[in-house]
Amino acid sequence: MWHKKLFAPLALPIHLFAGAILCGALLLCQPVSCQGRPISFLDALFTATSAACVTGLTVVDTGTAFTRFGQTVILALIQLGGLGIMTFSTLIFYLWRRRVSLADHIAVGQSLLHDAAFHLGRFLVRMAAVTAFIEAVGAVALHLLDPQGFAPYSAVFHSISAFCNAGFGLFPDNLMGYATSPGVNLVFMWLIISGGLGFGVLIEGYRAARSRLRRLASPETHLFRLSWHARTVVRVSIFLVLAGAAMIFLGEFLGSRYPELSATDKVVAVLFQSVTCRTAGFNTVDIGRMADASLVIMILLMFIGGSPGSCAGGIKTTTFRVLVAFGASRVLGRRQAVVGRFAVDEDSIDRAVTLTVFAGVLVLGSVLLLCFTEGAVAPHVESGGRFLEILFEAVSAFGTVGLSTGITPSLTPAGKLVITLLMFVGRLGPILFLSVAQGFQEPLRYRWPEQGMMIG
């Protein structure tokens, strides 16, 4: 009986992601993948996990440590991780036999839309088409903006990496060389936001735009309106981008720092950093130079992450919105948490609270382990800002962001394993692991007596 639960439909993404990561690690540690001396299996496993989990943390430089073959393996893992191993396998079977199993239907429905009641085949075809279109447009735009820096392969690599919110780049300084290039920044921001909204929201946006174009030609055409979920995702995403940019600007650019950037460049830089720390991992400014206040703001944004059913990680924008509505309802004395035109059901509130608590415990536990493995047990006056760097690294891994203050290459073997596990759990989502673990538990057929407890 236990093996049936272990390979239940909900657990299939875990097995497929683990299998893809292992295959990628075996390929990346081969001589054909490396320039010069092959990297260790642990470094290959770290890189493969970072790619498949679309994180972007690296222990070796992608552009110089790997050959074109190795970079292509990383690119394939990014695309597989961005769209989901389960999604790819189901799409292949759908196109091949025009039918899919009930297990695949349930697994993909819950991982992409958290709803198994949808037309899987039509959704997957639209998703693949929208993804290919956005990545192709992004690659062409990057190549036209800088034909030398973004040669055809480089343009495709960075476009896929940006849309999948991976953060992998082929430049040693990430995108710091393009801090004064608004065009390149805007293309990357568009790709990152598109990949972080969620496939369902993207398709709804496409249908809404198409209906409005048809309305211009035929006024009697029915307008397609965004669903409650899509409206919530868009509004929360806009708020987080603008609020994050404003706070990062206060932390970074009020003084005389960064004299090399103009006023316009500074505005673009804070917008870019606010967008990218929501799980993309690219940076146009040196993270190690940023103020503590900016790093704390970025930690909060990384912890929230993107939206459900997207390439992004974190606790998700909808979870954040539900928690805000729940807190507001308690402050105002309401019995229901209201978001827009509807009240959130109690089951969703329970999942949001459980996810946030579990994610917080996971991150803090990982930070404690990293403090032991990375030498942050020294006196505070001697370790300096080591704790903040470790906290930033852990949240970046959990949120599958990929930003780092620079400590990733110097992680100990034990530290690399901790970050690897954080990336894996963060990409698939703590709720998935909790649901699988709960499947092994027998339901209780009794209730404990209840009694009130003093709180606060």
Q: What is the mean pLDDT of residues 190-216?
A: 85
Residue 450 lies in a domain: no
Residue 444 lies in a domain: no
Buried b (16+ CB within 10 A) or exposed e, 45-58: bbbbbbbbbbbbbb
Give the tens place of pLDDT for each residue, 176-188.
Answer: 889 889 999 999 9
Residue 455 lies in a domain: no
Structure tokens that stand for 64 in this block: 């110089």
Give strand ranges (E) for 97-245: none
- d(CA 42, CA 63) in angstroms, rounded, equals 19
- d(CA 21, CA 53) in angstroms, rounded, equals 9
For residue 249, pLDDT over 80 is answered with yes
Residue 103: pLDDT band with limits 50, 70, 90: low
Structure tokens that stand for 368 in this block: 């404690």
For residue 98, pLDDT over 70 is answered with no
Structure tokens that stand for 72 in this block: 């292509």
Give the tens place of pLDDT for each residue, 7-24.
Answer: 666 677 788 888 999 999
Q: What is the mean pLDDT of residues 287-311?
A: 88
Closest alpha carbon to 77 in 26, 12, 141:
26
User: Are the C-beta atoms of 223 and 212 separated by less than 8 Å?
Assistant: yes
Pairing between strand 337-339 and 342-344? antiparallel
Provide the pLDDT for residue 120: 65
Residue 92 lies in a domain: yes
443: DSSP letter:
P
Closest alpha carbon to 312 in 126, 83, 86, 157:
83
Q: What percent of the chain has pLDDT over 90?
A: 39
Residue 452 lies in a domain: no
Residue 447 lies in a domain: no
Owning domain of residue 291: 10-435
- d(CA 271, CA 101) in angstroms, rounded, equals 43
For residue 5, pLDDT over 70 is answered with no
In 3-state terms, what secondary structure has residue 34? strand
**Whole-structure pTM value:** 0.87
Give the tens place of pLDDT for each residue, 371-424.
Answer: 888 875 667 666 667 888 999 999 999 998 888 888 888 899 999 999 999 999
Q: Which residues pair with 337 in a beta bridge?
A: 344
Report the domain count for the chain. Answer: 1
Provide the pLDDT for residue 444: 73
- For the chain, give the number of residues: 456
Provide the pLDDT for residue 321: 94
Read out DSSP for 53-108? TT----SS-HHHHB-HHHHHHHHHHHHHHHH-HHHHHHHHHHHHHS---HHHHHHH
**447 CB-side CA count, 13 A:** 3
Residue 4 lies in a domain: no
Provide the pLDDT for residue 253: 80
Residue 454 lies in a domain: no
Closest alpha carbon to 297 in 252, 253, 255:
252
